[in-house]
Structure 1
Amino acid sequence: MTINILVPVKRVVDANVRVRVSSNGSIDTTGLKMSLNPFDESAVEKAVQLREAGVASKVTVITCGTQASQDVLRTALAMGADEAVLIDTSAATATLDSLAVARLLNAHMASREYGLVLCGKQAIDGDIGGVAAMLAALLDWPQALNAGALSADGTGWSVMCDDDTGTATWLLEGPAVVSADLRLADPRRVTLPSIVKAKQKPLAIVDATTLAIDLTPQSHIVKLSDPPVRQPGIKVADSAALIAALAERRVFDQAGVTA
């Protein structure tokens, strides 16, 4: 089975940077280090591994955003992706939600043939994780979310995913949408020679307005706030004291468990 793989990626604040909500209730990313979303890194790595194993013939990375998003596309190219596409959403980028992204990806795929869409299960900025499922619905393709393992199986895909009871292995027939957990693949180190080579690989820029997609957001952020300050813990002398402390704070009652 030799197919083309599409890997949607996103530019987010680096995972090692601690963001703060400003006094006006927004997050200002000016001056903050931006990087490729970690879950998308795992997806890119797995896609490249599949191509190296002969399962895929080409890996295309794609993102929706401004011209600044070219940097994460170049990172993905340096990891081994073959080509990149930027759907330039310009002013609409600030309010771009999961459904709008899924619609843009679906429009892009209408004129191209892919056998697998492999993306991160969520972006670390919004943590919504809705693009994969929405895109699968638009394409009418089978889907597998939170994948920790993926392999080709005949004309389909064998995918191990987390579920409510632990893990489950699914067999998806034909083209499919799979979202990656961090366990799917450990991203390779990007070397200087690979960065230089990535500058020579094709990067297409598509104006979102040419796709005739309504980018009006269907979801809105009601409020942003920093998490409450964590209270200091306590030390207990033994297990009896621990049980007494838990009972005093009625921890099991709050969890819905009868003591």
Structure 2
Amino acid sequence: MSGLRILVPVKRVIDYAVKPRVNRTQTGVDTNVKHSMNPFDELSIEEAVRLRERKTPVQEILAFSAGPAKSADIIRTAMAMGADRGIHVQCNEGEELEPLGVAKLLKKVVEGEKSDLVILGKQSIDDDAAQTGQMLAGLLGWSQATQASKVQIEGDSVTVVREVDGGVETLKAKLPMVITTDLRLNEPRYASLPNIMKAKKKPLEKKTLKDYGLDTAPRLKTVKVTEPPARKGGVKVDDVDGMISKLKELGAL
């Protein structure tokens, strides 16, 4: 088998440590806050790099993102972590791509770059859709394994361990394949300063949606976004009888 051509999609999202706030117009959340790479995508880049470090034949690791101009920073971070080059499809600020549109776009990239393995986060923490990987596998007609907690590749055979409600499940499939990553897969490395400087010299190709000739118009419309209701404070009880009485009063018993 020749070296793997791995595609790793990465997304710029509101940093996981920032508490989202609904904007004044109630059309979405306030995006004028710190952004970073989607945590599940960090796992994907790390796993692709680790496959190479485990002596799995890897010809190239390509980081890809579609989003506003600042998404290029996320691709640079991916390259500092070990990706070889990047492609940035620049969208207008506020132009959101739905999972199906992203899957169609990734299909075009896979075909153009002749990728044979796609590793992507199981979901992004902004919309929590968890649909893109499955849609991409369906469009490509490839095998898929979701929520991977362990990945092993021998030749063209891929073994993926994933956690399920009853324990763990082990899947085997042949390349080409789509894998989505879960939090137990690995611990992403920090991009060191020397690698950040080297990433600035790695090729980053700029494209637009028109270059791919796709219809990515939204099919869904957000009607309204509101804050969840504030939680009411708890009450203290003196003993078990008091707790039972309170639960009956609340209709819990």
What displacement does 1:227 show? 1.7
Residues 136-179 of structure 1: per-residue CA shift (max 9 Å, x gap): 01100111111111111441211112334332111122211111
Q: Does 2:85 correspond to 1:76?
A: no
What residue identity is the alignment partner of 1:122? Q
CA 1:174 to 1:241, structure 2 compared with 1: closer, same or farther past 3 Å?
farther
Q: Secondary structure at the match of 1:109?
A: helix
What residue identity is the alignment partner of 1:59? I
Counterparts of 1:8 and 1:190 in 2: how far apart (Å)? Answer: 18
Residues 76-96 of structure 1: per-residue CA shift (max 9 Å, x gap): 1111111111112336x6231
What displacement does 1:239 show? 6.0
CA 1:234 to 1:167, structure 2 compared with 1: closer, same or farther past 3 Å?
farther
Residues 83-113 of structure 1: per-residue CA shift (max 9 Å, x gap): 111112336x623111111111111111222
Counterparts of 1:152 and 1:163 in 2: how far apart (Å)? Answer: 21
CA 1:247 to 1:49, structure 2 compared with 1: closer, same or farther past 3 Å?
farther
Shift >6 Å, 4+ stretches: none
What displacement does 1:225 show? 1.3
Quote the residue 1:234 is aligned against: 235
Q: Secondary structure at the match of 1:110?
A: helix
> RMSD value over aligned CA atoms?
2.0
Stretch moving more, 95-104 or 18-27: 18-27
Residues 8-47 of structure 1: per-residue CA shift (max 9 Å, x gap): 11000111111210231032312x1110000100111111
Counterparts of 1:207 and 1:35 in 2: how far apart (Å)? Answer: 22
Q: Secondary structure at the match of 2:151?
A: strand
CA 1:199 to 1:162, structure 2 compared with 1: closer, same or farther past 3 Å?
same
Counterparts of 1:243 and 1:155 in 2: how far apart (Å)? Answer: 60
Quote the residue 2:119 is aligned against: 118
Stretch moving more, 107-116 or 60-69: 107-116
Stretch moving more, 238-247 or 79-88: 238-247
Counterparts of 1:235 and 1:137 in 2: how far apart (Å)? Answer: 53
What residue identity is the alignment partner of 2:67? G
CA contact (8 A) 1:156 1:175 kept: no
CA 1:237 to 1:75, structure 2 compared with 1: closer, same or farther past 3 Å?
farther
Within-5 A mapping of 1:128-143: 128-143=129-144
Quote the residue 2:160 is aligned against: 159
Quote the residue 2:203 is aligned against: 202
Q: Secondary structure at the match of 2:46?
A: helix
Counterparts of 1:125 and 1:250 in 2: how far apart (Å)? Answer: 35
CA 1:232 to 1:81, structure 2 compared with 1: closer, same or farther past 3 Å?
same
Within-5 A mapping of 1:79-90: 79-90=81-92
Q: How many residues align?
A: 250
Give the TM-score normalised by structure 2. 0.91
What residue identity is the alignment partner of 1:144? A
CA contact (8 A) 1:43 1:185 kept: no
CA 1:232 to 1:61, structure 2 compared with 1: closer, same or farther past 3 Å?
same
Residues 205-244 of structure 1: per-residue CA shift (max 9 Å, x gap): 1121011100111222232111221222234556666566
Counterparts of 2:179 and 2:132 in 1: how far apart (Å)? Answer: 11
Quote the residue 1:95 is aligned against: 96
Give the TM-score normalised by structure 1. 0.89
List alignment gaps of at least 5 residues for structure 2. Answer: none
CA 1:65 to 1:238, structure 2 compared with 1: closer, same or farther past 3 Å?
same
Q: Does 2:20 correspond to 1:57?
A: no
Counterparts of 1:54 and 1:6 in 2: how far apart (Å)? Answer: 18
Q: Secondary structure at the match of 1:18?
A: coil
What displacement does 1:249 show? 3.8
CA contact (8 A) 1:51 1:59 kept: no
